[in-house]
Amino acid sequence: MEKYPAGRFILSYGVAMCFITALLEFTGTFEKLFGEKVLPYLVFIVIAILVFSTLWFYRTCKSKTTVIIGTIGWITTFILLYIHYSNQTFK
């Protein structure tokens, strides 16, 4: 198995975390659309697809591209989390 540099590997997961955070925001909507029995399977499948696509992204893209897009993904993740939890706090 190929060894991954830890910093670049963690940065590349910023893209997946951005989509997982957006999924967190829309979980209530998905529950209304698909029902509460299907929701856990849907979330698991989406997260699995994101993890495997991030591994593909990490292996195929250049190092510089991975770092830039991953950093943008992590920044977007923290902004979405801040918006999500600040809306819940101040309601």
CA–CA dist 55, 78 (Å, integer): 21
**Number of structural domains, the chain?**
1
* pLDDT tens per residue across span 8-47: 888 888 888 888 888 888 888 888 888 888 888 988 998 8
Residue 75 has pLDDT above 90, yes or no: yes
Q: Which domain holds residue 48?
A: 12-84
Does residue 55 sit within a domain? Answer: yes
Does residue 58 sit within a domain? Answer: yes
CA–CA dist 15, 43 (Å, integer): 16
Does residue 27 sit within a domain? Answer: yes
Round the average pLDDT of the chain to a whole number and report it: 84
Longest dimension (CA), the chain: 49
The pTM score is 0.77
Does residue 6 sit within a domain? Answer: no
Does residue 52 sit within a domain? Answer: yes
9: its two tokens: 């590997």
Q: What percent of the chain has pLDDT over 70?
A: 91
46, burial (CB in 10 Å: exposed 0-12, middle 13-18, buried 19+): middle
